[in-house]
Amino acid sequence: MTTKFGKVLIIDDDEDILQAARLLLKKHMAVVHTEKNPVSIPNLMKNEDYDVILLDMNFTRDMTSGKEGMYWLKRILEIDPSTVIILITAYGDVELAVQAIKEGATDFVLKPWQNEKLLATINSAMNLRQSRSDALQLRQQQEQLSAELDQPFQNFIGACPAMQQVFQTIRKVGATDANVLILGENGTGKELVARELHRQSQRSSNVFISVDMGALTETLFESELFGYVKGAFTDAKENRAGRFEVASGGTIFLDEIGNLPLQLQAKLLTVLQNRTVTRVGSHKETPIDVRVICATNQPIYDLVAQKTFRQDLLFRINTVEIHLPPLRERQDDIPLLVDHFLEIYCKKYNTSIKQIHEVALKKMLKYHWPGNVRELQHAMERAVIMTDASILKPTDIMFPAKDMKEEGIVFDNYNLDDVEKTVIRKALQKHGGNISHAASELGLTRTSLYRRMEKYGL
């Protein structure tokens, strides 16, 4: 037996029409209500959520003009704008029905109708109603998610004076269009700061585009950032906007700006000065309206002194600077971060871990956290996944071998993955997080080092 579904309301002052529709539709629909007097519509809609309403265009009081039908069409849509309405009209009123569709009706059927056509029209209308309902639910979910994400500093945990200074600067600068340079080691949360600045800006309803400048090769730099036109190079099959054009009206975040080669710095400076981009293969300048936020883990002023970073570009991007302290300098925030990530990952993995043991927390407080908050986050996620207890114990908190002696590194074990992770960590620590220098010492390309850092959560 086929399950019937769908709720239909039919409004017509002709009892014969109502009777015929009721007999036909009750075989196919879960609920079929009929009504002669349109005045009852608001009350009926209050008590039932109809998928489709079939509405006559002409009632006894107004037999031919259709004005009463148009009135009730608008009234129904005022009550519920998502209502799907099918008009019932005579053959001579097709022009009126077309006008009603412009006013918000979905479709119309002619009297006398063909049963198969009426059923097909109603089924299509019900599918539309379901699509609208799904879209509304999705939009509400997205709005709720956005509202939660847009809570100020939701992803920031920090009570120490240095972090409070960061929050204060974000509050002051967020609402402006000032260019901001964020300085800090890997894993300190530079992109979180950039996103928070965007959320608190007048551009928050527009896009936030993040670009890893360190991952862009010289050949891809212009095409990725400035776009290209069809035929500009072999694989240019169509016109494509670059990141700056896409970000126009919003914010562009240029991460690892300190790794940009000098010749590319000049091209970026030109764009930031002129506020225009020229796509590869074109001579047409396109205006852009973007807020620029940059970040680097490198000693940018030392690079300027070494003449490997342009001073005029630095002046352009650092109207305001924000310095993020490493985790080892904000030890008092570690318990707060531990509780924060414990709550997040207990929900994510549906576990019932209540707390972290005091000794385990002391172990975390003694650790130097070269990977900063990102490393702590990964350590907490791993602990939540691996533990079988309701309290995180010291043995659940795993750190890599960290003892360094003058003659070299001492490993707790010789598992190759652990050894590689430890060596990479030490290289990064030695070079202050400078990816290029660490990769060079390790004999890797920057891309290969990035892949290994991602693999090991560094």
Q: Which residues of 156-181 are buried (b: 16+ CB within 10 A; e: fewer)?
A: bbbeeeebeebeebbeebbeeebbbb
Pairing of strands 107-110, 180-183: unpaired
Single pTM value for the model = 0.57
Q: What is the pLDDT of residue 136?
A: 67
Architecture of domain 176-325: 3-Layer(aba) Sandwich (3.40)
Which ranges of 242-305 would DSSP assign to H, the alpha helix? 243-247, 262-274, 300-305
- Reading the chain (458 residues) residue by residue, the pLDDT tens digits are 445 678 999 998 888 889 999 999 988 888 999 998 889 999 998 888 898 999 988 765 555 556 788 888 889 988 888 889 998 887 666 677 778 788 888 888 888 888 888 898 898 888 888 887 777 666 665 555 555 444 445 567 888 999 999 999 999 999 999 999 999 999 999 999 999 999 999 998 888 999 998 888 888 898 889 988 888 888 888 888 889 999 999 999 999 999 898 989 999 999 999 999 999 998 888 999 999 999 999 999 999 999 999 999 999 999 999 999 999 999 999 999 999 999 989 988 988 888 899 999 999 998 999 999 999 999 999 999 988 888 998 888 888 754 333 334 555 566 677 778 888 888 888 787 788 888 877 777 878 788 888 888 78
Q: What is the pLDDT of residue 405?
A: 37
CATH topology of domain 327-399: Helicase, Ruva Protein; domain 3 (1.10.8)
**Top-level class of domain 401-458:** mainly alpha
Taking 3-state DSSP, the helix, strand and coil percentages for the chain, each rounded to the nearest 5, stand at 50, 15, 35
Q: What is the pLDDT of residue 35?
A: 92
Q: What is the pLDDT of residue 308?
A: 93
Residue 237's Cα: distance from chain center in Å?
Answer: 28
Architecture of domain 7-144: 3-Layer(aba) Sandwich (3.40)
Domain boundaries, the chain: 7-144, 176-325, 327-399, 401-458
- Domains 7-144 and 327-399 in one fold: no
* DSSP of 404-441: EETTEEPPS---HHHHHHHHHHHHHHHTTT-HHHHHHH
Q: How far apart, in whole angstroms, are the C-alpha atoms of residue 22 and residue 255?
A: 65
Length of the chain: 458
